[in-house]
Each structure stands twice: as C-alpha cells, then as structure tokens.
Structure 1
Amino acid sequence: MHKSIILFLLILSIKLYSQEKKETYLFSEDITANFENDKTLARYQIAATNFSISGYYKLGLETWDKQAGADFSKKKTISTEDSLYFKSFKPVNAKKYIIDRSKNEQIILINEAHNNSRHRVFTTSLLHDLYNNGYRFLGLEALWENLDGKEFATLQDGFYIKEPQFGNLIKEAKEIGFTVFQYESTSKVRDGGKTREIEQAENIVKMMKENPNSKFLIHCGYEHIIEGTPGIKTWEKAMAGRIIEMTGINPFTIDQTYYSEKGNTNLNSPYIEMVNLDYPVIMINNENKAFSGDRENTKNIDCAIIHPITKYKNNRPDWLNLSKERKTIKIENSKIKEYPALVLAYRINEFEKNGIPADIIELASDSEKSNLILKKGEYKIIVKNKDYQIVNEFTQTVK
C-alpha cells in the first residue's frame, strides 16, 4: 500500500471518528464489533487507532498489521550487506544520546506512529532534560488549537491527543513550563499534501521568528521529519525539508517509527533482534555517525531509535512506568460493582472539564490482574459498566 494512501486513510479515519457522538473510550469488544461492521478501506486504521485511544496497545499494533497488501504487513528481511553495515554500529542509550546532542541544536523533530502510544511516552521522557538544556517550545501536529491559558488538554483540542499517553505528554510539558503550540495546516487545497507540508513549516517558522534564540521540540507523525526525499512524492519536500528551505537551519531529526515492534513479532525488523537490549537505542559508528536506516539514507534523517520488544506485567507494557517515575496502582475488587468494567483515572478537576484520562484499563472479571499506572498525585477514578454508565467513582491517592 502506497504511503499516500496510508495518509489518506488516516485523515479519513479522523473525519469518520470525529463524526461519532458516542463514547470516546470503548470496551475492546465494542471496537471489534465496530470493525466487523465497517466495510470501508480505512477500517483497519480506524480500529487500530480506536484501540490505541482506549488503551489497548497490543491490539492496536496487531490490527494495524493486518492490512492486506500493506508494506508493514510483510515479514522484514535484510541483505548480507545491510547486516554487515548495521554491525559496524554500536548501541548507545537513545535518551542520553538525544539529550547530549540537543545542547547544540535549535530545533528537534521527533515522530510517532499515530497508533503507538509508546512513542509519546518516549517523547515525554525527554521533556525535563530538554527543558534543562534550554528548550521552551513544544509543537504538536495533533493539536487543533493552542493551549494558551490551559493547564491541560481536553477532548475538544484534538483527535489523537485523546489517547491517555498523549494527554500525559501535554500535561507534563505544561507543568514543566513548555509553551505548547499547534502548527497543523488548515488549508483545504488538494495537491497530494504539498501545501500541508509548506503550511506546517510556515507555522513553526513563524513561532521561531517570534521567539528568536529559543529552542523548539516538534512532535509529529511519520515522514514529516524527512529532510531529504519523502516517500510521498507529491509532497516534493516534507515539513523538515521546508523548514531548512525557509530558515537555513538544519533540524535534528529523530525517527521512532521504522524500528518499533509490530503486533506480530514475526513482522519485526531484524535489527530489533540484532540489538536485543531492554532499552531504546541509537546506533553509532566509529565516526560518530548515527544509523538512520538504509545505507544511502535518501530520506536524510539524523538517527533512528530502535525500541525493544515490550515486556508485560499484569497485561500492562513495562515502559508505561516511565523509568519507574509512575506507580502501579491496584484497584480493589470492592470498587468494581459489575464486570466487564472500564476504569478511567483522571487528575483531580479534569474529568468535569472534559479532560483526558491519565490511564485506562478494562477489567473483564474479578480474577483479571491489571493495574493503573500513574504519577504521584490525586486522581478521580471513574468506573463504567458495559453500557457506559458510571457505576462508581472515588478518589485515589498515588504516593
């Protein structure tokens, strides 16, 4: 499947989902039923995104992988030459490498797959250290409007930001002191995405000119970070290339999407297994050059993160604990009146203002082990039954 079609289906999924007037966070069974009743070409991406938004990380990956004929649904292989080339690099801790290099950069572009919450958690892990290195502005493609005067994002502020880890990213950035801004194009011109890339870059450059000598972190989707030749030829240049064109500044571009795990481990890049470490890495050679993918690197990105395969504890991904900054919270059986139950944790005063939950879990029965994973603080816990009626709510302190 060509990447321009993927982009079209993603945009279509946003429009379709935005038309829904029902619940935002769904039971997995209902997402599956909606998928089975959906006959559109976009159904896999719609379902994968809905799984992601409702906290079902693995189901989201697995559903995305099932798209027939898509490049990402095929088993990956590498040539002997590529294997030897890769072995000329050594792994370094991705976070440490990025933070060290950020000291001498003005703008960082890091991407995500829109159905992969892990990418948002990794960007969140960078915020404190980037702030200490002088970064003050966080640009988000997924925002529909700026968050001036707001302490947190709401359900009305964007589509993908409804996902809990995206909400946590925004909340963390605001608490640290970042100015969080939107830069998405509002053009309705149909030219294969060229105008969109230009307008995104223009909006970012405008913020840069209004805040000279400031440092910027831009969190975007997929190929917008490409400095060279994007896969979608109608773009001519991606957003990153347009920023270079407009400013002469070479951004530090970081990919998270090429070498992240798939729902089906058989589809994983062989490079993940070759690294075989339990933390994200960036590969560096003896000339201090970072591995960025193919040997020619026609996309001209600066580096690619290789994320490890997720380990699970009580059905929750290990990386959700944000290097143990977040705590595991068990919900007592006495708090659940009926099963299945959807348990949503909101920061105090955010549920009433259409805020985004900090975490969500589904409990199928009283024997199922699954825990909320939360930062220290006070939370309002909302418990919903199969009909999405609130059957219990209580306050939970995380120490």
Structure 2
Amino acid sequence: MRSPLVLTLIAGALLAAAPAHANGPSERLAALTAAEANLAAQRSKSTTAALKQQLVGPLQTVGTLQSLTGAPDAAMVTFDEIAALQATAANSAPGNSAAIAWTTGRDAVGVIVEQARNRQVVILNEAQHVPAQRAFAMRLARELRKVGFTHLAVEALGDNPLAKGYLTPASGMYVAEPTFANFLRDAQQQNWHLIAYEFKFDGLGLGADDNVSAREQGQVDNLVKRVLAREPKARIFIYASANHVRERIAAGDTWMAGYLRERTGIDPLTIDQATMISHGGGSGEHPLYQQLLAKNGGSGPFVLTRVGNPEVFGKYRGEVDMQVVHPPYPLVSSTGRPQWMTSLAGWKSYSIPSALWPSSGRRLIELRRKGAPPDEVALDAVLAVAGQKPPSMMAPAGDVEFSASE
C-alpha cells in the first residue's frame, strides 16, 4: 500500500499544476498568486489536525508553481510542510547509523560511471522541486554519454518535446523550470536520443493505488515500445522522480524500475539522489544527513562505499543500488545564487539591469538566448521582490537578453 504522501505527490505534481505549466511566465506568476491566495484561505479554515490534512493539495500546487517561477527555496519549505503534515518527514526509515563509520565518501559521478560501464540501464531519481539535482543529472549525462549510453528517457515529457525544434513549456510538465530545460538542451548538444516515456491516463477512472500501478507499467510499456523493441541492446539513462527508482517487487507497491526489471530481465543501476539533501536545517532533513556529510572527502556530491560497495541509507535501503549525497550549496556572496550553479553546472553570472527591478510587488525576471523565440524556455528565472536587490542570473555563457513579467 502506497503512502498518502506518495499518492498526493503523484496526483498533485501531474494534475494540480497542469493548467499553468504550459503557459508563459505571466500566466505562471498569476497562477502562483492565485494558488497562494487559495492556500491562505484554506489555512484560515484549518483549525483542527483533520482539517489541516486538507492543506496538502493546495500546498502541492503552490510548491510546484514556486519551483516553476524561480523560487526553489520557497518550494523546499512548502514541500517540507507537506511532509510534516503527512508525518512522513525525514525521520522515517532512518537506517543503520552504525554502518556509517565503515563507509568512505567518493565522488558521485566517478563511482556511478564506474558502476555503469557494464550496465545497460541507469535510473536516477530526483526531488522535483530541487533544481540542483537536475544540474547533477546534466553533469552525469555527459559522462554516461562518453561510455556508450545513447538514449535519455525523461519522465513527464510530452510525446514530441521538440516539435518546434526547441523546448517550450508545453514540451513537458517540468520543462518550464530552467535548470530542467538546460539539462535537456545540454543533452541535445551531447547527441543523446531524447525519449518521452510518460503514460497517459486517458480517464481510466481507477482507484489511487491502481492508477499508480497503471502509470508505472505504462511507463515501462513505452520504454519497451519506443526503445528496447527497436534496439534491444540500447543503453538508456532514465531520469525519473522519487519512488520510480525502486526495484523491489511487491503486491500493490511496485514501481517503474521494478516493473522494468520484471518485464525485460534487465538489471538497472538504480540511484537515489532525492533523500540526502540539505533542507536548510528544516524538518524535512534526514536525521542521518549531517553524519553522512562528515564522510565527504571532497566538495561536491558523493556516494558512500563500504569495501568498494555502495551503501544506501533511509527509505530506499535495499531498494536501490546506490545513493548520492548532496552537500549544502550556500549562496555565493557575489551572485546571491546557490553554489551548485557554478560548481555543478559551470554557469556564468549576469547582472539584472536595475530598470527591470520591481518598484512594487514582485516580478518574474527571465534570462533568454538572444533572439530566442518568445515561447522558448528561459535559461534562468528569478522571482524579484520590490525593495530587495535581486540576485544575478546564472546561465551557460553566450549572448543573452532579459525579460520581465508581472
């Protein structure tokens, strides 16, 4: 039986934000404002613990829209509140803390590539409101491409994400988030074959658990039809969210990775990067996270190994092959943006012209390729607030231009 939070995240992420995700920046900002107003109204009515559970849906909508409008830190706080309401925060499945003493921290990309050399499929998950994880996926994809992986399969893409020859918000549920789009653009430059494998419900009308099972099996059906049936030896990097990476087969609780293994006989290399991340000291942080950080011998994402074998802590222990631990990414004083934008993504900073700063309220400022079509997904987005100096924009080096929406 899947947890209420899992079901909420699946339904909410794919349905609640759907009306806004494919629209332009003005519409997304308006949708966020409306969602915040709805959440505030619901809060005023939530006077008991039972009523507070009804906040989960509105919170999901707000958090998703925050992540799509240049406010990932706010999205983290919102999703942590959801976890607290559902009592599924980081204290669940803490894992064996004693085992940490016997582990060694090693560079995550290096270990994954080492383990992937003799695998046909690699599956990496993400927390969908944490853009740093998309930058890590971008960096990993470059290295997997070098060792023979050819197909990049991405969750929640539209069937023809490059219909216009470039990425638009209509290309997929999360493509409007700039780091996601930059990851896919980088993959294009590396000559990956981009595969959309999302399952379309088409009004099945099933119960919640059956809906999840239908989606997981439908995703595998699409991976088989669109890749493996045509190229049985194709090497695939699958990028999915949260639980889809789990390999365990169990009645009523089997996910995409498990169905893929069962259906094809392929043993995928499964990697969790959604669990061990900084929450700024918030309640969503895993209780072992700080202990794991002490094992890091470098400055970037790492995996823990014991006698050369990867270790996993938390709820995915025994269900995935390895786990990436992300260090905290503090703000860089010169840009006001998180460190990962330079350390992981390698992006350049661009100062926002003062003429674009909002004089009242807030404004969504975007950085775009110079001369890009108006509906192409931006290179970066910042939600600027009146009275506060906005941070720099961060993007790959190139000719750029700014735009602003209210």
Normalised by the length of structure 1, the TM-score is 0.85
**SS of residue paired to 1:275:** helix
Aligned equivalent of 1:6: 6
Whole-Å separation in 1 of the counterparts to 2:345 and 2:158: 32
2:235 aligned residue (212, 215, 232): 215
Aligned equivalent of 1:392: none
Trace 1:318-333 onto structure 2 (pairs within 5 A): 318-323=339-344, 325-333=346-354
What is the identity percentage for the equivalent residue pairs of Structure 1 and Structure 2? Answer: 21
Q: Deviations over 1:221-270 (max 9, x none)?
A: 1111111146xx524x2111111112211000000112122254354223
- 5+ residue gaps, structure 2: 44-53
Whole-Å separation in 2 of the counterparts to 1:72 and 1:302: 23
Aligned equivalent of 1:396: none
1:65 aligned residue (68, 73, 80): 80
Trace 1:279-294 onto structure 2 (pairs within 5 A): 279-286=300-307, 288-293=308-313
Q: Deviations over 1:186-221 (max 9, x none)?
A: 234322422211111121122123123321100011
Contact persistence 2:93–2:314 (CA under 8 A): no
Trace 1:247-396 onto structure 2 (pairs within 5 A): 247-262=264-279, 264-276=281-293, 277=296, 278-286=299-307, 288-293=308-313, 297-299=317-319, 301-313=320-332, 314-323=335-344, 325-334=346-355, 336=357, 338-339=359-360, 340-352=362-374, 354-365=375-386, 368-384=389-405, 388=406
Contact persistence 2:275–2:314 (CA under 8 A): no
1:35 matches 2:39: yes
**SS of residue paired to 1:128:** helix
The farther-off stretch of 41-50 and 65-74 is 65-74
Aligned equivalent of 2:29: 26
Superposed displacement of residue 370, structure 1:
0.5
Superposed displacement of residue 125, structure 1:
1.1
Superposed displacement of residue 367, structure 1:
5.6
Contact persistence 1:144–1:184 (CA under 8 A): yes
CA shift in 2, pair 1:2/1:199, >3 Å: closer
Superposed displacement of residue 132, structure 1:
1.1
Equivalent position amino acid for 2:75 in 1? G
Whole-Å separation in 2 of the counterparts to 1:150 and 1:69: 42
Aligned equivalent of 1:16: 16
Higher relative contact order (CA 8 A, sep 6+): 2
CA shift in 2, pair 1:13/1:292, >3 Å: closer
Superposed displacement of residue 148, structure 1:
5.3
Equivalent position amino acid for 1:186 in 2? K
Whole-Å separation in 2 of the counterparts to 1:139 and 1:218: 5
Aligned equivalent of 2:108: 94
Aligned equivalent of 1:397: none
Aligned equivalent of 1:171: 185
CA shift in 2, pair 1:9/1:285, >3 Å: closer
